[in-house]
Structure 1
């Protein structure tokens, strides 16, 4: 319970923060909404005067008598439309700014290594945060926040006019208004809980589906397509049931509002009708004329309209709070100083001081390593599979924290490019994939790198050259060709540090020789940090960090190999 309360408070604090950043625009939206309400009041006053004082009482009327009312009606209509447009514009601009700010913060956090900050996050988790959860803020910022003030202030403006015309009608409407939010709160007590479950189930469904798509080839080989389809269908069914539960709450709260609003408007209409018919003469009945009665009847439904709109946006607030509860811990991490990230150094070397590389939840504590890697040197991380080479490489890249000790990069080391073990491509052409880290790379630059890595003959076989599309789900490239294509992408990037994880694991001897030759050339102008169990890589290494196969940890050789 305490954890839930803490999450709720963190979510509310995030919502308060994003609103505070856009307070001028949102305040302008509220003021323009009040101006639109004044236009509405003027519009119905003009119409009631035209009907009650000009058209209906007179057998024959002249245009000159109706002209002021028509002019007032048109002016009020223009004012209402202009103010409504301005309100929508201010609210939408505030919403766009809030969503853009949140996406930039998440992007910065992702660049700085989200895996160790927030647990092992899948691509579906990040897609859910950047897409669904942040988009949920639109309803809260653009609709709910301005409407919560308009739901109070706009009815008060209309109630003041109705009270001036007939205090009894104003009293009836005043008594009916508090019942609506009271019963809506009783109905919607579980709305936030349902929305939280809805957000979590949607995120789980996205992750489950994405994992099955990524392993589609393996599932096909194992004959598990039908079983996976059934699992997705079951999860989709749970998500559908939860979505329908949310809709039930929404419809029930709307029904409560419409019931009390209908009863109040009907009471006003019955009283005014009997007064005009002459059946009621007690109370303030004498103050009701055809003009005042028409004005009250026209304003009575409008009196509940801001409350009705607020009820429609109430679930936007519940959904935004559920999303904010998931976003808040991540965004809090983005603003915290991180002592485990690579720290700049005044020297011209990468310095490791008693560094221990391991995941935060890992029980094994390898021995600390102290090492100095000068500029344009190659550090080789070697050892059997599973001994911790990738973990150490991710630590030096700043993707996971050092469990102990520290390391310092020179101030001028510039950008880093990290090449993981598993090659990946994005939907697009060869050129799109090669320009991923180097948007300004020319075709000649790309062809030069492909030629060095032995991929030029393969590209020559393609009918469209660099414009040939690549499909991640069904590519004709072998694992070794994909590996070299990813290495070409990394080599094109304007980076001073290359972190390569098993760059020759899938290559034959000829391709491996090409890669070794290219990396030997790059060592003269870049830092190379390579994790590999390939003995041939020792030819490039200036420094050697050996990972033992036992739980004892790592060994180290600082001397050139």
Structure 2
């Protein structure tokens, strides 16, 4: 199995490398299951021989005990085959479940360590995790074992057929290869159709999450009919893509069944006319007898069965390749991993301080250079500059959410590294441009560190009392991921209240007044000023001159020449 993987063109197809990586933990189980499946398949010639022996005995007046012996042997062989198939299936599904769980854990762990704002949307990630990854299970449980069976059993059955009749063996030899040839031709179209279906599934989920988050606004704007029309259009697109995949599957199945039926029919014609004495050639000696003839008739469908199983599993392979291609594209995106493990930690000891020296951060092909910055305990600093200059990147570096490519960052007198990042983040709070809420009651969202503190004072300080009062259930209300049901300004106030509840030593705020009306912006500035007066250190990225003026000093950033 490892040698087969090594021959895959992984260097040319990143999806193939990803699929090989996912499949590697299940390789041993696939080999074991393949051997069990082959042993099960080898039991059919034994059963076919017993049936042929019994029927031949009827013709020659054999005692009835011969039929009973044949039936007992047939049942015993069937039981052994069923046990082997069961063991193979159980082995495969356990391995597939383990491989899928490992890939899902890897995917979620990697995406959780991306810098905020990078990576796929939550809807796309949810579709990939919950809907697309399970499509790997049929591939892991069917394709490799089917491929192994198709390389062993047809050759064994072909050899048995040739040992009885060279004509029957020649018929199978000509008809058999037509199935893999057509399977390869269909496989390319099946993969393209599966990829288009995967894209449509992701788009459908993204649309659903987007519309759910804006459900209140949709109702207020009386846009329900348009929203329903959007869903209808997207659903029709998904139906079209799915039907395209099914059409290819049914077409290939029909053609493959045709080839199998023609091969079996030709064997039946040859055996029938040979037993009637019309055909007197094709055997290695005398005329074809009834027993060998019946054996050939029973063996010929099983000759095609492994090839038909492989053809069916080929569609599973196409779907798995489409999913692996999407995973590979996601892995190829800039990871921008955060420092640390993202795990709870005790606050980093020492007097609060923050220092950035000659720091540069890689953003795709661009190297973003940040100004030197030193912040002492109790200071309030505004970072200003045009959009895209790197203000948000500076805050991300300060929080350990972006890894510098050059320069050094010191916090509380220690280098900011994987060893200190989690403890450093335990001393700070973050107010981002895009409010984010967990699927939990508002009270839990406001007290993420589970301190048990009463959030009422923080809610009042953030000017969010009326927001909480208007929510159904108040602090028990569950908001959407982006604050569905409340305005952007109200969501911003709740995020600020969350920062106040955390009582951080350092607050990093990224454009906290952006896109807010004058009254709401003034309330946010007042809350930040109150936090500053309490002794909390502030570093704020902003375009707002009023907010910048409320800080102790300003650090301007300029676009590179």
Structure 1 counterpart of 2:48: 44
Offset at residue 266 of structure 1 (A)? 0.6
CA contact (8 A) 1:155 1:306 kept: yes
Deviations 1:211-259 (A, max 9, x none): 3443444455555544454444444434433333332222221122111
Per-residue Cα deviation, 1:95-137 (whole angstroms, up to 9, x for no partner): 223322322332233123267766xx33333233323442332
Counterpart Cα distance in 1 of 2:222 and 2:475:
36
Does residue 267 of structure 2 align to residue 273 of structure 1? Answer: no
Distance in 2 (CA, whole Å) between partners of 1:51 and 1:343 is: 74
Please give the residue correspondences for 1:88-487 in structure 2 after superposition, counting only pairs within 5 Å: 88-113=89-114, 121-222=120-221, 224-284=223-283, 286=286, 288-332=288-332, 342=339, 350-355=354-359, 360=364, 368-373=370-375, 380-383=381-384, 386=387, 389-399=391-401, 405-408=407-410, 409=416, 411-414=419-422, 416=425, 418-430=430-442, 433=445, 437-438=448-449, 441=450, 445-446=451-452, 448-450=454-456, 452-454=458-460, 469-470=478-479, 482-483=491-492, 485-486=494-495
Kept in 1: contact 2:34–2:148 (CA 8 A): yes
* Maintained 8 Å contact 2:280/2:287: no
Q: SS of the residue aligned with 1:353?
A: strand
Q: Distance in 1 between matches of 2:43 and 2:94?
A: 23
Match of 1:546 in 2: 555
Distance 1:378 1:132, change over 3 A: farther
Residue 78 in structure 1 maps to residue 76 in structure 2: no
Q: Which residue of 1 aligns with 2:64?
A: 61
- Describe the shift of the 1:271–1:41 C-alpha distance in structure 2 as closer, same or farther (beyond 3 A): same
Worse-matched range after superposition: 392-401 or 137-146: 392-401
Contact 2:500 2:531 in 1 (8 A): no
The alpha carbon displacement at 1:35 in A equals 1.9
1:556 maps to which residue? Answer: none
How far off is 1:70 after superposition? 3.3
| Contact in 1 for aligned 2:132/2:323 (Cα 8 Å) | yes
Residue 22 of structure 1: SS of its match in structure 2?
helix
2:22 touches 2:99 (CA, 8 Å); kept in 1? yes
What is the CA–CA distance in structure 2 between the aligned matches of 1:110 and 1:418, rounded to whole Å? Answer: 19
CA contact (8 A) 2:397 2:403 kept: yes
**Offset, 1:302:** 1.8
Contact 1:504 1:515 in 2 (8 A): no
8 Å CA contact retained: 2:359, 2:404: yes
RMSD: 4.4
Per the alignment, do residues 494 and 265 of structure 1 end up closer, same or farther by CA in structure 2, a change over 3 Å counting? farther
Q: Is the contact between residue 548 and residue 554 of structure 2 (CA under 8 Å) also seen in structure 1?
A: no
- What do residues 395-438 of structure 1 show as CA deviations (whole Å, max 9, x unaligned)? 43455566875535154342536442343434443466457x55
Going from structure 1 to structure 2, the CA distance change for 1:165 and 1:521 (only over 3 Å counts) comes to: farther
Taking a change above 3 Å as real, the CA distance of residues 480 and 59 of structure 1, as seen in their structure-2 partners, is same
Deviation at 1:470, TM superposition (A): 4.8
Aligned pairs for 1:482-501 (under 5 A) are 482-483=491-492, 485-486=494-495, 499-501=508-510
Equivalent pair of 2:380/2:532 in contact (CA under 8 Å): no
Whether the 8 Å contact between 1:49 and 1:69 is mirrored in structure 2 is yes
Superposed displacement of residue 38, structure 1 = 2.4
Whether contact under 8 Å (2:370, 2:390) holds in the other structure is no
Aligned-residue offset at 1:34: 0.9
Unaligned runs of 5+ in 1: 554-561
2:98 alignment partner, SS class: helix
Length-normalised TM-score, structure 2: 0.76
What is the deviation of 1:268? 1.0
CA distance in 2, matches of 1:287, 1:140: 46
Residue 32 of structure 2 corresponds to residue 28 of structure 1: yes
One of 8, 12, 32 as aligned partner of 2:16? 12
Change (3 A) 1:302 1:466: farther
Alignment partners' CA distance in 2, 1:470 and 1:210: 13
Taking the aligned partners of 1:189 and 1:97, their CA distance within structure 2 comes to 29
What is the distance in 2 between the residues matched to 1:462 and 1:221?
16
Q: Is the 8 A contact 2:162 2:168 kept in 1?
A: yes
Q: Which residue of 2 aligns with 1:558?
A: none
Unaligned runs of 5+ in 2: 1-8, 342-347, 411-415
Residue 381 of structure 2 aligns to a residue whose secondary structure is strand
Offset at 1:61?
1.9
Aligned partners of 1:123, 1:429: CA distance in 2, in Å? 19
Per-residue deviation at 1:156?
2.2
Q: 1:84 to 1:59 in 2, by over 3 A?
A: closer
Give the C-alpha shift of residue 300 in structure 1.
1.5
| CA deviation map 1:301-350 (0-9, x unaligned) | 1221111111111122122222222221433568x8x7x86599999854
Deviates more, 1:136-145 or 1:213-222: 213-222
CA contact (8 A) 1:188 1:253 kept: no
Helix, strand or coil at the partner of 2:167 = helix
Size of the alignment, in residue pairs? 526
Aligned-residue offset at 1:263: 0.7
Query: In structure 2, what is the Cα distance between the partners aligned to 1:201 and 1:156?
Result: 42
Does structure 2 retain, via aligned residues, the 8 Å contact 1:179–1:260? Answer: yes
